[in-house]
Amino acid sequence: MRISIRRAAIVAAVIAAAVIVAPFAGTAQAAVFNPESFTLDNGLQVVVIPNKRVPVVSHTIYYKVGAIDEPPAKSGLAHFLEHLMFKGTTKFKPGEFSAIVARNGGQENAFTTQEYTGYYQTVAKDRLEKMMEIEADRMTNLVLTDALIEPERKVVLEERRSRIENSPNGKLQEVVGATLFMNHPYRIPTIGWAHEIRDLTREDMMNFYHTWYAPNNAILVLSGDITAAEAKPLVEKYYGKIPARTLPARPHWVEPPQTADRRVTLRHKQVQQPSWSRRMLAPSYATGPQADVYALQVLAEILGGGSTSRLYKSLAVEQHAAVSAGAWYEAQARGPGAFGFYGAPRAGKTVDDVEKLMNAEIKKLLKDGVTETEVKQAIQRLKDAAIFARDSISSPSRVLGSALAMGQTIDDVEAWPDRIGAVTVDAVNKAARSLLVNKGSVTAVLLPEETT
């Protein structure tokens, strides 16, 4: 099963564990993963994250290309190609890649986001060389025919139907994305519009592949029972012989000023739990200002960091109006970030009730701000999440790979705790007021179909 990660899925990761999506910055004193890194002559960046807990290695190649790099009217191309990357090369027959991984006791998958595409295998350490051989091969030797493309087109369209067209929330989020962004290609879903998926050709696939799938547009992340000294000879053997390519210039997308709030409502017969949300554009690591980025991470933790957060305690615990309530912030992006609020009414309450209470909490935030205690506790929880991420084989790869793929550095990632720890009450309140006084938010409401 291939995975298409839309921006909404990344938002869910922010709510679950801020460390997984937030780049880090600061001094090396608070290092999180202590990775080793080197770059091949062809431009391939290699990051090694030693973890000796078990004799297993996660091998992930990140290509710095995603849905926002697709040509006009070719939406879904990056994700469709991700599927087709498993179809075979001049060396390996269709399906043989996955068969080799399975035969060697490994697990594999792939993912596409707006900004990058990734392919990974997790195997025993003594099987890593084989993974490098087959992954390096499909970086440059992919073979596609119409006989391979057409069945997979049906798979992609079915994925879109199940994730979006047959999901009321998926349909709503797609419209919200297209409403929030007026100019940036983030308005287009990662999986693509169905009518454009149907029109993608073999030539489209191969042009995109030959343009972006190159060592100088990739990052190889190895996490697990391996060191850079052990990895380098293997990486040079299999990836080092692949020539670099000249990469095209990327458009510099900028959102125009947003001057009007918007509202999107979807009624559907499948909806049993109504919900409310509101989101707005926010600073990202790419757009800044950087001080606000760190402060907004702390704010999102205060407002939406689980059952102890301000919004959940107020709406769900104290006022018994909601079954869920919180906030999230997406700072890691090549374009604008986003900040959002959400809530779902308890039985006997309505979406309007939730919205009124949420508006009251936002008004209170603007008037009174956050407290010193809230800031200190939020910072500690975020730092704890960074520590817990070390225990996983895959989490460090996701943290570092996604950050590097969107322009951050290892130094940024390694000492994030220092910068997040330096956030003050004044900085959080300033960032909150700067964010929330502007027009341009999108409110989304999901309701059951009206009965007559």
Question: What pLDDT does residue 425 have?
Answer: 98
User: Is residue 298 in a domain?
Assistant: yes
Q: How many CA atoms lie within 13 A of 163 on its CB side?
A: 21
pLDDT of 304 higher than 70? yes
Residue that is last in its domain, among 238, 270, 290: 238
- 355 and 230 together in one domain: no
- 331 and 394 together in one domain: yes
Distance between CA atoms of residues 99 and 66, nearest Å: 26
CA dihedral (136, 139, 140, 143) positive or negative = positive
- 314 and 222 together in one domain: no
372 is catalytic: no
User: Is residue 246 in a domain?
Assistant: no
| pTM listed for this prediction | 0.92
- 303 and 156 together in one domain: no
Per the DSSP assignment, residues forming a β-bridge with 142 are 89
What is the mean pLDDT of the segment spanning 77-81? Answer: 98
Task: Give me the domain span that covers residue 61.
Answer: 3-238
Read off the tokens for 125.
């350490």
As a whole number of Å, the CA-based R_g of the chain is 22
Distance between CA atoms of residues 134 and 121, nearest Å: 11
- 229 and 339 together in one domain: no
- 424 and 275 together in one domain: yes
Read off the tokens for 73.
């009217």
Residue given tokens 């209470």 in the structure block: 357
Beta sheet of 322-330, edge-to-edge order: 262-268, 442-448, 275-282, 337-345, 322-330
* DSSP-based three-state secondary structure for 424: coil
Of 36, 70, 82, 135, the active-site residue reads 82
User: Is residue 100 in a domain?
Assistant: yes
Per-residue DSSP letter, 314: I
Distance between CA atoms of residues 36 and 29, nearest Å: 16
Element (H, E) at 323: strand 322-330
Distance between CA atoms of residues 86 and 121, nearest Å: 13
Given a contact cutoff of 8 angstroms between Cβ atoms, the answer to whether 313 and 325 are in contact is no
Q: From start to end of 137-296, where are the E strands?
A: 218-224, 262-268, 275-282
pLDDT in tens, 333-368: 999 999 999 999 999 999 999 999 999 999 999 999
- 401 and 293 together in one domain: yes
| DSSP string computed for 78-116 | HHHHHHHTTS-BSSS-TTHHHHHHHHTT-EEEEEE-SS-
User: Is residue 202 in a domain?
Assistant: yes
Question: What pLDDT does residue 387 have?
Answer: 82
Given a contact cutoff of 8 angstroms between Cβ atoms, the answer to whether 390 and 33 are in contact is yes
User: Is residue 312 in a domain?
Assistant: yes
- 178 and 309 together in one domain: no
- 189 and 315 together in one domain: no
Read off the tokens for 50.
């030693």
Domain holding 138: CATH number? 3.30.830.10
User: Is residue 244 in a domain?
Assistant: no
Dihedral over alpha carbons 426, 22, 315, 428 (to 10 degrees): 0
Q: List CB contacts of 330: < 8 A, sequence separation 6 or more.
A: 7, 10, 11, 14, 21, 282, 284, 337, 338, 339
Distance between CA atoms of residues 384 and 49, nearest Å: 19
- 203 and 290 together in one domain: no
What letter represents residue 150's amino acid? E
Per the DSSP assignment, residues forming a β-bridge with 268 are 448
Residue that is last in its domain, among 238, 253, 271: 238
Confidence of residue 386 (pLDDT cuts 50, 70, 90): confident
pLDDT of 13 higher than 50? no
Read off the tokens for 165.
């067209």
- 45 and 170 together in one domain: yes
Residue that is last in its domain, among 206, 238, 270: 238
Question: What pLDDT does residue 420 have?
Answer: 94
- 209 and 270 together in one domain: no
Given a contact cutoff of 8 angstroms between Cβ atoms, the answer to whether 158 and 80 are in contact is no
pLDDT in tens, 400-441: 999 999 999 999 888 788 999 999 999 999 999 999 998 899
What is the mean pLDDT of the segment spanning 297-321? Answer: 97
Question: What pLDDT does residue 23 have?
Answer: 34
pLDDT of 47 higher than 50? yes
Q: How many structural domains comprise the chain?
A: 2
